[in-house]
Structure formats: structure tokens, C-alpha cells
Amino acid sequence: MKRFLVILSLVIGFYVLKTLYQAGQFKSITNTNKGEVARVYTNMYGPEDMQVDRATGNLFISATNRRAPLVDSPENGIYILNLESDDNPRMLDNDFQGSFHPHGLSLFREDSILYLFAVNHNAQGDFVESFIYQNDMLKHQKSYSYEEMCCPNDVVAIAKDKFYVTNDHGAKKGFMRVIEEYFRIPYASLFYYNGESFSEVAGPFLYANGVNVSNDGKFLYLTTTIGASLIVFERVSDGSLIERTITDLATGVDNIDVDENGNLWIGAHPKLLSFVKHAKDSSNMSPSQILKLIPDDNNEFEVEEFYMNDGVELSGSSVVVPYGGHIYIGGVFDRKLLKIKLND
């Protein structure tokens, strides 16, 4: 019996150490910044996802008090910041009927019309909402739901009524969700809406998170936060996907932005368990990390770290958008949006 207990203790100890290592808890964090902070915007909760309309310089920001995800607040919504101005972000009016708690978002232009898609979590369920941005407000078009889409995270629109959406867990809550996360069981997925119905087109993954497409639309990019990787798929005309490459990034990757040159910019959580503690209590700092990925013709990447911080300047970075010699960094919970002027 004593021998069994010793072996059991060793097994448990090994598993705990392995979990801590895979979550990045043994990493040494050195503050680095390939630029300097030019401004910090503080007038909105958790700017978790953002996308810029390069035709106008308008940055659209998904902001919600994510520590009270189902509590309605006048501060929850989509904000806009014109990157050519010195203004603060301001909330956009919308005509959505119901509770709006935006998460991941995506922009799509067609025939000069700008469509905005946003994941929405409320007491009625989990949805993807589509809007038209017109006359300085968001006009709601449609709500999309799917019984298997329990945990939508990010969305990328490829037409005015077609999109991909990540489902970051297979279980919304309870024991199975804990098993997914701490026993690293892949149960997340990617869904495609073809204009009429949903279908699962890829998975399972270890926490499917950010999703975006290349500028020419030929490739789809997906991050797995617990899997710490970027997966590249080739898109087929019917919406199905062919996996091409997997890049190990050794960090908890989150949202993806694609710049005008086709480079990928990713917000990341280098210490995942620190991020979990930060989610529960704002006094617990969670390091922030920004990566730039430069693709070659084979969808292999040169990876460059642009920013790393211990969490004091910004905790829990989830998104970065480059524009006009600056990068804009948002996080999941902090009331901070960093504007960083890049070094020449």
C-alpha cells in the first residue's frame, strides 16, 4: 500500500509539473517593447477584439465587462476610434433588440457597404449578430444560433451572410469543461455558416480561439490557446477546409489580425494559469505578449516578438491591430487600450 501511495504521489506530482510547464508558468517574463507607448485609452471595459476598416481608418472595438458577462451595462457594446484623429473611442449606437455583450468581431465590405459581425453572449444563449454600419450607427440585420455552438469565441465574415466561427469548448460549463482545460482534451471546433445552415468544418482543437483569413481569401488562420499553435487551412469554394501547416508558438495565442502586407499579428497569454487568476481577480497580473508572423509561400512563418509585459502596463492582451506606424493592443478585462508608436 505504501508503495502504491508513493507511485501515486509521483504520478500526481509529475502531472502537476507538466501542467504548469505547458501553461507557461515557468517562463521568465522580460519586459520588451519595439516602440514606445504613445497613449493609453481607459474609457471602456475589456477591448478584447478589434478590427480596422482600412478604407476609413476606423477601428471597431468589442468592449464588455467580462467579469460580469451576463449583466447588462450601458458600457457594453461596440466602440469606434478613428485612427487619424486624436479622439477617444466612443460607443456606437445600435438598434439591436436585447442584451448585447460582444466578444469576437469581424468586418466585411461588399458594394461599399460595411458589415460588422460580432459574437454575443447573453442570458438567452450564444449568438453571432450581423450589423450594417451606416450613418454612424450599427443597424442589426440578423441573429445566428446553432445548438452545437455552445461557446462561440471569434468570427470571420467572408460574405455578407457567410462566416466561420470558433467554438472554444465542447462543454459550456461543468465537469467536462474542466476536463477539457486541465487534462488537455481537444473538444473545440470550427463552424461554417454557408448562408443557409451551419456545419462543423474543422476540429477537434485544444481551445479554438482566434480566426481570420488571408487578404486574398485563399487561406484561413486559426489559433488554439491551450494548444499554443497557429493552424493554416486552405479554403475550398464550398467552405470546407484543407489543413496545410501547424506552427507551434509556445504561448497562449488569442486573436489574429492580418495587415495589408499579409503579415499576422497575434495577441497572446504567455502564462495561462496567471490569466485564469486574473480573470477572477483584477489584482492578479497576467503577462501580455504580441507576436508578428511573416509568412512565406509555403505558409511557414518567421516569428517576431514585438511586445512582452509582466502585466503591470497591460494584463491579458488578446488582440493587436497595426495601423499607420502604430500598434493598438487590447486585453480581455483591463480598462486599457494601448497605442504604441513603433520604432523606425
Q: Cβ of 75: how many Cβ atoms within 10 Å?
A: 15
Bridge partners, residue 52, by sequence: 59
Q: Angle at the Cα of 254 (from 253 to 257), degrees rounded to 5?
A: 110
Report the alpha-carbon distance of residue 62 to residue 313 in Å, rounded. 20
Domains along the sequence of the chain with CATH: 31-342 (2.120.10.30)
Q: State pTM to two decimals.
A: 0.94
Q: What pairs with residue 337 in β-bridges? A: 41, 330
Question: At a CB cut-off of 8 Å and minimum separation 6, what does 314 contact?
Answer: 288, 329, 331, 334, 336, 338
From the list 124, 126, 127, 104, the residue with the least C-alpha distance to 116 is 104
3-state secondary structure of 335: coil
| Contacts by residues 5-12 (CB-CB < 8 Å, ≥ 24 positions apart) | none
pLDDT in 10s for each residue of the chain, 344 residues: 666 555 545 554 555 555 555 666 757 789 999 999 999 999 999 999 999 999 999 999 999 999 987 788 889 999 999 999 989 999 999 999 999 999 999 999 998 999 999 999 999 999 999 999 999 999 999 999 999 999 999 999 999 999 999 999 988 888 888 888 788 889 999 999 999 999 999 999 999 999 999 999 999 999 999 999 999 999 999 999 999 999 999 999 999 999 999 999 999 999 999 999 999 999 999 999 999 999 999 999 999 999 999 999 999 999 999 999 999 999 999 999 999 999 87
